[in-house]
Chain A
Amino acid sequence: MSLNVSDLRIARGGLPVLEGISFQLPPGQALILRGPNGIGKTTLLRTIAGLQPPLGGSISGGEDQIAYAAHSDGLKFALTVSENLRFWASVFGQRSITPALKAFNLTKLQDRPAGALSAGQKRRLGLSRMMVTGRPIWVMDEPTVSLDQDSVSLFANAVREHLAAGGSALIATHIDLGLEATVLDVGPYKAAPLEFDDFDGGFL
């Protein structure tokens, strides 16, 4: 099932940030979002993940298909690596966490409390969560933050396998992942500033 976004207009805190965004994400493909800091990439991803309603336009094909990874990993520091993953696996109704541990080279760390991991290891654990969701569309917000070169290639491999298995991925990132992906620069879609046409001069 492909994700269709047409003429999307999104806002953050009531102010429109991006407008007129349209794209299609068919199975087996990845779309990379680029754009300067603060342009609204995170807001766009949150809207697509269904965390906030769009101002206008439509998103279709994403219902219950999307696994979302935000800036923060959603880890419980008191639980071990495998307990963290198993929790998310059971929330999404999946069983096995071994492939996810393997893909992100976490097998040796699985009994370590998540609080004792380094930033990069935490990130890897957060990303491996995508694999236990069993959802076809991965929506990821700057997934490579604090990852080293090797981990980035681990991640790129995981995405490639996911795409080969018929999934799709929407990734906001600044670095080159080495993926065969379409790139969408959201810079030109910056929304025009609000016009105060209902401005009440009486307040002045």
Chain B
Amino acid sequence: MRDLRLAVRAGGGFGLGLAFFLIVTVMVPFSVGPESDLLARIAPGVLWLGALLSCLLSLDRLLALDWEDGSLDLLATAPLPLEAVVSIKALAHWITTGLPLVLAAPVLGVLLNLPLEGFKWVVISLLLGTPALSVIGTFGAALTVGLKRGGLLLSLLVMPLYVPTLIFGAEAARRGAMGMQVETPLLMLAGISAGVIALMPFASASVLRINLR
């Protein structure tokens, strides 16, 4: 369980994702133009896309650092099962990247003229969706660990896996902001997260085992 603290303290890079999120959402009004109606309509989608991209940005550090300094080999021979190691890694990633994004989203929503009733749903959908992003991202990081410049391949591999989460997450946030019923996309989103959290660690651990050979 110390892995979490270690990742939090040794990682140190969680400002990066947050800064990127900030930049994206600040720049969107400049690029789209000063139409508050239009901004209000695209705000949930922009917030979701920004969160997803900032998540992606920090993924290649997730396991690569441990690979480089050799601690991954040592963790693999430790009594901890690799499934637990990757789950904790994903949890640490979520706490350092996903959670700050969720907390920052309502503040940045103001910049995008997000409708008042939308704030709640953006936060809820991000809260439900970002764990899935972290867990899927850990799988991608496990696949590409040990590759030089694996970051590009990682993004390409992970992107399609992120699509369902993005669709349902952004849809829930959009419907919430429009004052429509949000139950269906929210349930789908929660389902994706739950399924991915339950199954992905096994996939990540097995590809990691193959990669360590």
Q: Which residues of A contact B (CB under 8 A)?
A: 46, 49-53, 64, 66-79, 86-88, 90-93, 129
Those 4 A-B pairs whose CB atoms lie nearest each other, nearest first: A72-B70, A74-B71, A52-B213, A76-B10
Q: Other than A68-B74, A70-B73, A74-B72, give 13 A-B pairs with Cβ distance below 8 A.
A: A46-B73, A66-B77, A67-B77, A72-B70, A74-B73, A74-B74, A75-B71, A76-B10, A86-B2, A87-B6, A88-B78, A91-B2, A129-B74
Residue of chain B at shortest CB distance from A13: B213
**CB 8 Å contact bits of B66-103 with A (1 = contact, 0 = none):** 10111111111111100000000000000000000000
Cross-interface CB contact of A74 among B3, B12, B70, B213, cutoff 8 Å: B70
Cross-interface CB contact of B79 among A70, A73, A79, A92, cutoff 8 Å: A92
Alpha-carbon separation in the docked complex, A99 to B30 (Å): 61
B16 CB–A CB distance under 8 Å: no
Contact: A91 with B70, CB < 8 Å? no
Minimum CB–CB distance for B15 against chain A, Å: 14
Minimum CB–CB distance for A49 against chain B, Å: 5
B149 CB–A CB distance under 8 Å: no
Cross-interface CB contact of A51 among B9, B10, B76, B79, cutoff 8 Å: B76
Given A50-B77, A51-B213, A87-B2, check contact A72 B69 (CB 8 Å).
yes
B194 CB–A CB distance under 8 Å: no
Instruction: List, in ascending order, chain B residues with CB within 8 A of A69's CB.
Output: 74
Minimum CB–CB distance for B201 against chain A, Å: 17
B107 CB–A CB distance under 8 Å: no
Residue of chain B at shortest CB distance from A66: B77
Instruction: List, in ascending order, chain B residues with CB within 8 A of A78's CB.
Output: 9-10, 12
Interface residues on chain B, size class:
20 to 34
Residue of chain A at shortest CB distance from B71: A74
Alpha-carbon separation in the docked complex, A12 to B155 (Å): 29
Contact: A70 with B70, CB < 8 Å? yes
Q: Which of B6-52 contact A (CB under 8 A)?
A: 6, 9-10, 12
Alpha-carbon separation in the docked complex, A66 to B74 (Å): 11
B212 CB–A CB distance under 8 Å: yes
Alpha-carbon separation in the docked complex, A175 to B6 (Å): 35
Contact: B9 with A79, CB < 8 Å? yes
- Cross-chain pairs A/B with CB under 8 angstroms, 19 sampled: A46-B73, A52-B213, A70-B73, A71-B70, A72-B68, A72-B69, A72-B73, A74-B71, A74-B72, A74-B73, A74-B75, A76-B69, A78-B10, A79-B9, A86-B2, A87-B6, A91-B2, A91-B80, A92-B78
Instruction: List, in ascending order, chain B residues with CB within 8 A of A70's CB.
Output: 70, 73-74
Alpha-carbon separation in the docked complex, A76 to B6 (Å): 8
Instruction: List, in ascending order, chain B residues with CB within 8 A of A50's CB.
Output: 77
Residue of chain B at shortest CB distance from A69: B74
Contact: A68 with B77, CB < 8 Å? yes
Give the residue among B10, B68, B77 with the most A Cβ atoms within 10 A: B77
Minimum CB–CB distance for B211 against chain A, Å: 11
Residue of chain A at shortest CB distance from B66: A74
Alpha-carbon separation in the docked complex, A132 to B9 (Å): 22
Contact: B10 with A91, CB < 8 Å? no
Give the residue among A66, A68, A91 with the most B Cβ atoms within 10 A: A91
Alpha-carbon separation in the docked complex, A66 to B78 (Å): 9
Contact: B69 with A75, CB < 8 Å? yes
Contact: A68 with B212, CB < 8 Å? no
Given A74-B70, A74-B71, check contact A79 B6 (CB 8 Å).
yes
Minimum CB–CB distance for B67 against chain A, Å: 10
Alpha-carbon separation in the docked complex, A66 to B76 (Å): 12
Contact: A79 with B10, CB < 8 Å? yes
Alpha-carbon separation in the docked complex, A145 to B72 (Å): 20
